[in-house]
A = this chain, B = another copy of it.
Amino acid sequence: MLSTMQTTPLTVSSILRHVVQNHGDRGVLTATGDGVRRVSYRELGERCGKLANALRRLGVADDDRVATFQWNNQEHLEAYAAIPSMGAVLHTLNIRLSPEQIRFIATHAEDRAVIVDSSLIPLMAKVLPSLDTVRFVLVTGEGDITSLAGCGKEVLRYEDVLAGESSEFPWLDGDENAAAAMCYTSGTTGDPKGVVYSHRSMYLHSMAACSGNAFGIAEPDRVLPVVPMFHANAWGLPYAALMAGADLLLPDRFLQAEPLADIIQAQRPTLAGAVPTIWNDLLHHVDRNPDIDLSSLRLVACGGSAVPRALMESFEQRFGVTIVQAWGMTETSPLGAIATPPAAAEGEDRMRYRATQGRPVCGVELRLVDDDDRVLPRDGKAVGELEVRGPWVTGSYYRVEAEDRFHDGWLRTGDVGNISPDGFLTLTDRAKDVIKSGGEWISSVELENLLMGHPDVVEAAVIAVSDPKWQERPLAAVVLRDGTETTADQLRSWLADKVPKWWLPERWAFVDQVPRTSVGKFDKKALRRIHSDGRLAVNEVYE
């Protein structure tokens, strides 16, 4: 029996239409270094119409990929809204990747055009001649474009192109399962793999982000996505803010602690999202400038890597700002779980819940499987690989065989952990980062979090190194706060009453910084390589 309901498609274009019709006075503010520039969503809608007409006139057809190579700013948001809404596919390129990776990704995706911020031309110029599928380049901003001469592509100024166009465009009103956007994973092994989001998945993900159990985004909010828009859609915050009619505050290239603190004070965002290192840097900046006021933030979403408990406590105690840990992947759009404690939890119990990866947002289902693909109980004890399912979770990768990444319609995440009876996910490791010592697992992530809870430790990364007796043992690479001289012995004592004795690392390296991936996570692959190359000075401490 079929329902009598309309089957109106869930599309990015309908989000754009909604915000223009109902929240046209709200808008997007972009940091300029000494202030902000602003357009209302009504004006944004008009500029999106112009962009879509321009792209169509330049030959962008339905399904063509249009790449972006941009900071978080108004023009990037225009690409976010206009490209899917016209029926083409937004492809966000990661500006932190190597030229070779960019070439691989843009060619694999067959990008037809690239929108480039003029401040990024030096990076793009290196790779552009090798992007065989790209026909033209739109340059935003005022910067010099002479270095693009001779790249073999048509190079146009974004504003010049928009100037001549009509602001009216017949936005897509079609199949919600059509491609809307794509993003390549920054996988640390193998070639990057493409995830193709649908209009439906984007729409549902935005609804989930606006729900009370996630970020509860509403029209009075001012949303500050510090997490890059080339990184898993900036966690979906831009589309969710448009859906809610909330103001967007975009930091452009001003991502250091000082300009971020300035924009937070001046523009008073209510909600922000960034990886833990950004919040850590901000915290240290406020240490040196205690008058800075961060109190406008009602919620700070944090993810990408485990959020140190000490960071959450500092923000709560010093600013009254709640940092909430969220878990997700490029493959999950990315919102999967969020670590809001149950309403009934109190005191220390709340912090215990907040230190997990969280409880799934309705729509996302989590389960654990063992090495034989048997589903494990949700008892908070059984440890297995996390699998995930839902309408904004990828079911394949773009034009690549990867059947080993899927299992009965579920995505294998490569993460290892447990799930409590009340649904909270605790990840103990990446499957590939797990330390197997004498046949038992040691959680590198738990060791890192405990170490980063030590007052003198700024960063800590733990990797497995081979050991003649135990097969593998943990090695801790630690960054100490300036001026402190904590020893490995002292850090072992710090850990001693918090973990089993056989978890205590014998190998310690005090380093200036932990290597990071292009999206700011600890790069343990690089750390392992530095260690295997013999370039890490390791102290060995045995009791």
Contact = CB atoms under 8 A, between A and B. Distances in A.
B219 A343 contact: yes
Interface in A5-31: 5-8, 10, 14-15, 17-18, 21-26
A306 interface: no
Given A4-B396, A207-B207, A245 B21 contact: no
Interface in A233-250: 243-245
Contact of A391 (B2, B6, B394): B6
Interface stretch (A46-54, A209-217, A445-453): A209-217
B211 A207 contact: yes
A201 B3 contact: yes
Contacts of A363: 8, 10, 14, 18, 207
Interface stretch (A174-182, A431-439, A454-462): A174-182
Interface stretch (A133-141, A190-198, A473-481, A527-535): A190-198
A423 interface: yes
A200 interface: yes
B212 A3 contact: no
A196 B18 contact: no
B1 A362 contact: no
A8 B390 contact: yes
Given A208-B207, A213-B210, A421-B24, A4 B245 contact: no
B340 A219 contact: yes
Secondary structure dominating the interface of A = loop
A342 interface: yes
Contacts of A15: 362
Most chain B beta-carbon contacts within 10 A, residue among A6, A216, A393, A409:
A6
* Copies of this chain per assembly: 2
Contacts of A178: 1-3
Interface in A329-366: 340, 342-344, 359-360, 362-363, 365
A390 B14 CA distance: 10
A220 interface: yes
B391 A200 contact: no
A125 interface: no
Contacts of A430: none
B5 A395 contact: yes
Contacts of A198: 2-3, 5
A23 B179 CA distance: 34
Given A197-B3, A201-B5, A25 B211 contact: no
Nearest to A63: B1
10 contacts: A3-B197, A4-B394, A4-B397, A7-B395, A21-B378, A25-B342, A26-B343, A204-B207, A210-B213, A211-B218
